[in-house]
Structure 1
Amino acid sequence: MLTFLGFLLVAFAIAMTFVYPYLRKTNGEIDVNGNRQPPHSPLLTMWDFKMRAGVFAFGLVLLLLSESVIFAKEGHQYYILSPSGARSTIMTPGIKFVVPFSKIQEWEKFIDIKCVALDKKGNYKQDVTGIEGIIPNGINVRFIDKVDANVYASVRFEMPNDDASFIKLVETYRQPSNLINNTLLPTISEQLKNVTFMYSAEDYVSGSATDYRMTIEDALKNGGFVVKKVEVRDTIYNETGIDSLVKKKRSIKEINKFIRNEKIFVNGIPKRIPHEINVNKIITAQVIIDDVDLNKAFEDKLKQQRDISAEKIIEIQKVETARAAQQRIVAEGERDKAAERVKQEKLQVNTLIAIETRVKEEESNRQLAEIAVKTAELEARALLIKEKAEADANRLKVNAGLTPQEKAQIEKETRIGVAHELSNMQVPTNMIINGNNANGNSTESLLQIKLLKDITNK
């Protein structure tokens, strides 16, 4: 607006400069001397030289002001080329002053690239407002196991933050559309295809999806990977049937061979190849893998494998259930056998204890009987020794000159005393003879007992 107004005032002042002499000539009066006097028209008076100069200066100021001041918007970066050929940039928002009549080129600070699906009519299935780069129906990639897929990715790029890199980028591509179509879209497609060839579709659906997405983001941010080709063998087994489940035997169905790319590491760090995004110091701000649409034939194969796996799991569960029931029955039988064994062992222990008790009782009785016999034998021997001593004493007395009457009296008293002592002695009525006693004489013991009984009965 200021540019237009300033240009209008300057043009008007210049036009009045050329028109003013003509107006004076046509409206001036001739004095008495024959000279034309300045017109007395108020309009001509107003547009004298000073007024024209003022309008021209004011218009020029407005024009210069409009060309010197710009308002930098948030989320934009500006490339400035001055009339002298100097280059500069504006990276921050706000009111900025530049050299008048400089060439100013505005760039978005962020560039969004998005893969969008199309419907049957060829229209986008979602809103694409504000998206600078659109990839219809995603990027077609191929896994190492020959499975095709369409990858739907959303990537946001940020322009370089330093002046030199941004100036070089603008001068190289001139327009954002050239950068998007000639660099960003081809680089994204290339990196997705390279990374995808490092994985198999089976690995992706089996748990490597997160690693796959992280690898894509790493490749776009830090550069492509230097890879080597490695031969991979994928062995497929036949595992259907009860026999294979119970006996756990597998037969090889087929062996697939294919080549895949693996990263090359140097001191534990992947070796990389810089791509155009890194070379131009464009920052990959965000990478999102919205979806990976696998080939329909592979999807059908996955469904079939899922159904087979479900049946296999059911059969395995049945086998495990039957095996558990069998083990339970065996365990219960072992438990009952153990209980019966414990019961019988208790009975045997009770019987053995009773027998051992009786044996110990008999042994105690035998020992008591032996002690009683020995005691009686000792007492009898003591009594015989005593009687023998008294008899010897009496015999000595007789030999010393006892009268027959005294001898008879002594013998009588002796017999009465012996009889009295024998009548008070307890003689065992039962006797247990140990046959293992090598020192004892059973015949002698019986004779001694009979002798004692005969003496007692007298």
Structure 2
Amino acid sequence: MLITLGILIILLGIVTLVAKPIFKTSKLLQWFNPKRSLQIIGVGILMSVVTGTFFYAEPGTAYAVQYPWGGQKAVFRQGIHTKMWGRLIPIQFELPIKYVIPNSEGDLGEQSEYANVDAAKYWAFSDAVKARIATSVVISINTDDQTQFLSVADRNKTEKNLIRSRIIPNIDQSIKNTCKLMDAQDYISGQASDFDRYFKDQLENGMYVLEEYSAMENKEIIGDSTTVRTVVNKETKQKRFRIKIKNGQPIREEGNSLKAYGLTVVQAVVTEIDWETTFDKRLQLQKEEVAQTQLEKQQAEREFYRAQKEKARGEAEKAAERARLEKEQIQKTIAAETEAKVAEFNLVKEKKQFEVEKYKAQSKKVAADAEAYQNAKLVNAGLTPQERAEWDYKTSVGVARELKELRLPEIFIEGSDGKSNDNNLLESLIGADLAKQMMSNPKK
């Protein structure tokens, strides 16, 4: 721009310098004189020289400088650089390219001067469902290899031509191939990530070579080395495509890759899809069916958890009742064991008491036997018949009184050792006691 202006100024100075002597009476040329004409020519030359010799490189932009004598160089740093009246081909480091779905008024939204924005196109999936696919792609140029950059700039001339003739056709072909690999139903059923992966892989490494296969064939595995995807035929009359594989790797079209131009795909994603009306209606019906299924599933789960809750409550009540019964059982067991222990202790106590009373009775019997023997000896020694009769009477009266007052043990066990013919223990005790009393009161 400034170079052209400088050339025009130079031409103006030359014209005024030459025309002044010819048209001396012209009022238009009266202001110009040879000195001023030479000054105008000097300004034009200075402007042309300065603007043709130097240029300012903007940040984030690479420049290919092509000199008039045939040389060229690449400039990747911002600032002032020399161009020596050469031609500049500026190309951004990163080229944003977007397909946008227009609104109802046909507007593509807010645009950026650094982005290339176009309206999204309609593409047909494998099941013939059409949709407008909005994509966002960012392409990066190679700033490390000057030779390759200069070659790309020389072959494409301008950044816009590079985008229109190289990048956009690759984007369209990638979308087209990827749409052939899946149904629209597959896309909305969870294969959207596969779509993005196939899309970016083809942009960066080259287009897949697709082959049509028959519906009667077995399931085929397609995909790259990192992901496996199985395509299943759903309609016998529908054409199905798959990636042609050789040695486990996809076969790609030769010479159709952005990588050959030193371009790298930084981003390649599908941002939005506008399905055709018929498919939208089918999707709406599917959504309603799915919503109804989810509702019934939630109700079934609610009933299941309610049953689980009741079951848990019953188990809790059962556990509480079991604990109560076990507690009662333990209490009764402890009480019975205590009672048995007390009874056992009482039995031992009674046995000991009985042994004590038994030994006391034996002691009294021995003493009574001794006194009875002594009394019998006295009686046999000199009692008269009258004294014997009185003795018998008193003895019988004393026996009756003693029997009335006599206190015997509550428990008595009779036994013999088989070696003695002693009289009954009771008779012996009574006789001994009476004999003792008679000896203590002989006058009676």
| TM-score above 0.5 | yes
Residues 1:376 and 2:353 aligned together = no
Q: Which amino acid aligns with 1:152?
A: A
**SS at 2:164 equivalent:** helix
Counterpart contact for 2:368–2:428, Cα < 8 Å: no
- Which residue is 2:218 aligned to? none
Question: Taking structure 1 as reference, are residues 93 and 10 closer, same or farther at Cα in structure 2, changes over 3 Å only?
Answer: farther
Question: Taking structure 1 as reference, are residues 450 and 218 closer, same or farther at Cα in structure 2, changes over 3 Å only?
Answer: farther
Question: Taking structure 1 as reference, are residues 118 and 97 closer, same or farther at Cα in structure 2, changes over 3 Å only?
Answer: same
Question: Taking structure 1 as reference, are residues 152 and 446 closer, same or farther at Cα in structure 2, changes over 3 Å only?
Answer: farther
CA distance in structure 2 between the aligned counterparts of 1:205 and 1:440, rounded to whole angstroms: 110
**SS at 2:133 equivalent:** strand
Counterpart contact for 2:62–2:93, Cα < 8 Å: yes
- Which residue is 1:117 aligned to? 101
How much has 1:185 moved relative to structure 2?
A: 0.7
CA distance in structure 2 between the aligned counterparts of 1:355 and 1:307, rounded to whole angstroms: 71
Counterpart contact for 1:89–1:167, Cα < 8 Å: yes
How much has 1:138 moved relative to structure 2?
A: 3.1
Give the one of 190, 194, 210 matched to 2:173.
Answer: 190
Counterpart contact for 1:71–1:95, Cα < 8 Å: yes
- Which residue is 2:157 aligned to? 174
- Which residue is 1:279 aligned to? 260
How much has 1:2 moved relative to structure 2?
A: 1.9
Question: Taking structure 1 as reference, are residues 383 and 5 closer, same or farther at Cα in structure 2, changes over 3 Å only?
Answer: same
Question: Taking structure 1 as reference, are residues 198 and 382 closer, same or farther at Cα in structure 2, changes over 3 Å only?
Answer: farther
How much has 1:306 moved relative to structure 2?
A: 2.8
Matches within 5 A, 1:422-437: 427-431=408-412
Q: Which amino acid aligns with 2:357?
A: A
How much has 1:333 moved relative to structure 2?
A: 4.8
- Which residue is 1:88 aligned to? 73
Question: Taking structure 1 as reference, are residues 65 and 198 closer, same or farther at Cα in structure 2, changes over 3 Å only?
Answer: same
Question: Taking structure 1 as reference, are residues 56 and 304 closer, same or farther at Cα in structure 2, changes over 3 Å only?
Answer: closer
Residues 1:165 and 2:165 aligned together = no
Aligned residues: 385
Q: Which amino acid aligns with 2:113?
A: G
Counterpart contact for 1:3–1:67, Cα < 8 Å: no
Counterpart contact for 2:365–2:429, Cα < 8 Å: no
- Which residue is 2:285 aligned to? 304
Residues 1:149 and 2:135 aligned together = no
CA distance in structure 2 between the aligned counterparts of 1:279 and 1:95, rounded to whole angstroms: 31
Aligned alpha-carbon RMSD (Å): 5.7
Matches within 5 A, 1:376-415: 376-385=357-366
Counterpart contact for 1:137–1:150, Cα < 8 Å: yes
How much has 1:168 moved relative to structure 2?
A: 0.7
**SS at 1:96 equivalent:** strand
Question: Taking structure 1 as reference, are residues 358 and 455 closer, same or farther at Cα in structure 2, changes over 3 Å only?
Answer: farther
Question: Taking structure 1 as reference, are residues 139 and 173 closer, same or farther at Cα in structure 2, changes over 3 Å only?
Answer: farther
How much has 1:186 moved relative to structure 2?
A: 1.2
CA distance in structure 2 between the aligned counterparts of 1:431 and 1:384, rounded to whole angstroms: 15
Residues 1:448 and 2:425 aligned together = yes
Q: What's the CA shift string for 1:210-238, capped at 9, x where partnerless? A: 675466456545766899637737699xx
CA distance in structure 1 between the aligned counterparts of 2:330 and 2:41, rounded to whole angstroms: 134
Counterpart contact for 2:209–2:251, Cα < 8 Å: yes
Structure 1 spans left out of the alignment, 5+ residues: 24-42, 237-255, 406-411
The TM-score with structure 1 as length reference comes to 0.60
CA distance in structure 1 between the aligned counterparts of 2:37 and 2:299, rounded to whole angstroms: 106
**SS at 1:429 equivalent:** coil
How much has 1:367 moved relative to structure 2?
A: 3.4
CA distance in structure 2 between the aligned counterparts of 1:260 and 1:154, rounded to whole angstroms: 25
The TM-score with structure 2 as length reference comes to 0.61
Counterpart contact for 2:129–2:184, Cα < 8 Å: yes
Residues 1:3 and 2:7 aligned together = yes
Question: Taking structure 1 as reference, are residues 58 and 328 closer, same or farther at Cα in structure 2, changes over 3 Å only?
Answer: closer
- Which residue is 1:239 aligned to? none
- Which residue is 2:82 aligned to? 97
Q: What's the CA shift string for 1:107-142, capped at 9, x where partnerless? A: 566544221335678x44435563775543336253
CA distance in structure 1 between the aligned counterparts of 2:314 and 2:37, rounded to whole angstroms: 124
Counterpart contact for 2:91–2:159, Cα < 8 Å: yes
% same residue:
21
Counterpart contact for 1:115–1:153, Cα < 8 Å: yes
**SS at 1:152 equivalent:** strand
CA distance in structure 1 between the aligned counterparts of 2:316 and 2:37, rounded to whole angstroms: 123
Q: Which amino acid aligns with 1:448?
A: L
- Which residue is 1:31 aligned to? none
Residues 1:318 and 2:299 aligned together = yes
Counterpart contact for 1:10–1:56, Cα < 8 Å: yes
CA distance in structure 1 between the aligned counterparts of 2:93 and 2:163, rounded to whole angstroms: 13
- Which residue is 2:26 aligned to? none
Q: What's the CA shift string for 1:57-113, capped at 9, x where partnerless? A: 88766654553344445565443332321122444444433334x444455665442
Question: Taking structure 1 as reference, are residues 307 and 172 closer, same or farther at Cα in structure 2, changes over 3 Å only?
Answer: same
Structure 2 spans left out of the alignment, 5+ residues: 24-29, 211-220, 224-228, 384-390, 436-444
Counterpart contact for 2:368–2:433, Cα < 8 Å: no
- Which residue is 1:409 aligned to? none
